């Protein structure tokens, strides 16, 4: 089952009729009319955002690691772009950034490992890009974006969509130990994201934010390391995630949300013992 949050602006048929009339009649007052793409002539006729209404799934198949798979965040939008002028290329799609991350794996009274984004943790930046690491600034380059190259003679109707979830591995044993003895006792994860629907002029780099979505994913898992493999871990807390919020205003995109490094490359795995100094286990890439 999936709960959808939908935002309707105009019916698609009315959108196309309006833009076709505008493109036909828009140059009456000027022989040298130079059409320009602006926010007020881009129509977003539907945006949906949801998180699947199913619990996080825990996998205990490996004697080395526990894995868990969260439900998917999904977003899609229908857009009608006006005719694109000659020598212009516009890309429409999704940009995503992480704005907050807490990811702790506790090992009894020994200590905990922690995946961290140092710049975000220390407040030096407001967000870190969540791009796939190749398609900056976009989240991806398949269903996530559409490219329009001018000249086009009539409005273009398009759809862009994306999805995201967590599927990590966490070691049963203390990550800096040579022992394979299971000690993992708790997993806590809480991450927040902003996802923008954006149109970008590839030549001038002009950006037009069309829609802003905020969402959050939380995971709480209790583990009894003394139990046999297959029956150690259980989900605690809420079984379903809070649904995303489609904002009725547009938030600006911070510079760090647009370029390198992305969250996967910027994150650091720390070991924070109950006693003693913290240790970097895996540095940033």
Over range 272-278, report the average pLDDT. 96
- The predicted structure's pLDDT at residue 35: 66
What is the overall mean pLDDT for the chain? 91
Model confidence pLDDT, tens digit, residues 81-102: 999 999 999 999 999 999 999 9
CB 92 within 8 A of CB 198: yes
Q: Where are the beta strands (DSSP E) in the chain?
A: 5-8, 43-51, 57-59, 65-69, 73-81, 89-107, 111-116, 128-129, 145-149, 156-164, 169-171, 186-201, 207-223, 233-235, 245-246, 268-273, 279-282
Model confidence pLDDT, tens digit, residues 171-223: 999 999 999 999 999 999 999 999 999 999 999 999 999 999 999 999 999 99
Report DSSP state, residue 253: P
- The predicted structure's pLDDT at residue 13: 55
- The predicted structure's pLDDT at residue 140: 98
CB 210 within 8 A of CB 115: no
Whether the per-residue pLDDT at 27 is higher than 50: the answer is no
Model confidence pLDDT, tens digit, residues 144-162: 999 999 999 999 999 999 9
Higher pLDDT, 27 or 80: 80
- The predicted structure's pLDDT at residue 30: 35
Whether the per-residue pLDDT at 23 is higher than 60: the answer is no
Number of H helices, E strands in the chain: 3, 17
Model confidence pLDDT, tens digit, residues 245-266: 999 999 999 999 999 999 999 9
**Contacts for 279 with CB less than 8 Å, ≥ 6 apart:** 176, 270, 271, 273
Whether the per-residue pLDDT at 28 is higher than 70: the answer is no
Q: Where are the beta strands (DSSP E) in 108-154?
A: 111-116, 128-129, 145-149
What's the full length of the chain, in residues? 285
For the chain, give the longest Cα–Cα distance.
Answer: 81
3-state SS assignment for residue 264: helix
The DSSP H or E segment spanning 238 is none
- The predicted structure's pLDDT at residue 5: 43
CB 202 within 8 A of CB 90: yes
Question: Can you tell me the distance from the alpha carbon of 26 to that of 21, in angstroms, rounded to the nearest whole number?
Answer: 8
CA 55-166-229 angle, to 5 degrees, is 70
- pTM comes to 0.87
Which of 15-24, 105-114, 134-143, 200-209 shows the lowest mean pLDDT across its residues? 15-24
Question: Can you tell me the distance from the alpha carbon of 73 to that of 100, in angstroms, rounded to the nearest whole number?
Answer: 16
The percent of residues in the chain predicted with pLDDT above 70, rounded, is: 88
- The predicted structure's pLDDT at residue 88: 96
12, 44, 45, 272 from 157: Cα distances, Å = 9, 10, 10, 52
Residue showing tokens 């599927």: 167
- Residue 114: pLDDT band (50, 70, 90) is very high
């Amino acid at each position: 089952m999936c709960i959808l949050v939908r935002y309707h602006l105009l019916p698609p048929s009315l959108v196309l009729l309006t833009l076709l009339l505008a493109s036909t009649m828009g140059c009456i007052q000027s022989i040298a009319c130079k059409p320009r793409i602006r926010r007020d002539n881009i129509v977003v006729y539907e945006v949906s955002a949801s998180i699947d209404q199913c619990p996080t799934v825990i996998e205990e198949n490996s004697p080395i690691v526990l894995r868990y798979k969260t439900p998917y965040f999904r977003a899609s939008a229908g857009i009608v772009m006006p005719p694109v002028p000659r020598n212009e290329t516009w890309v429409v799609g999704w940009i995503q950034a992480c704005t907050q991350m807490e990811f702790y794996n506790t090992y009894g009274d020994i200590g905990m490992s922690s995946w961290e984004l140092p710049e975000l943790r220390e407040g030096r930046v407001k967000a870190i890009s969540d791009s796939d690491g190749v398609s900056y600034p976009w989240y991806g380059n398949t269903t996530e974006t559409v490219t329009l190259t001018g000249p086009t003679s009539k409005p273009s109707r398009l759809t862009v969509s994306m999805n995201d979830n967590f599927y990590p591995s966490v070691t049963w044993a203390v990550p800096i130990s040579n022992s394979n003895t299971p000690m993992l006792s708790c997993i806590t994860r809480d991450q927040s994201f902003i996802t923008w629907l954006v149109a970008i002029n590839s030549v001038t780099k002009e950006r037009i934010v069309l829609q802003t979505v905020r969402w959050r994913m939380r995971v709480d898992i209790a583990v009894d390391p003394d139990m046999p493999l297959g029956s150690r871990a259980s989900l605690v807390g809420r079984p379903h995630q809070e649904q995303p919020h489609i904002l009725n205003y547009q938030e600006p995109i911070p510079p760090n949300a647009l370029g390198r490094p992305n969250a996967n490359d910027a994150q650091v795995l720390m070991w924070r013992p109950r006693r003693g100094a913290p240790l970097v286990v895996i540095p940033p890439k």
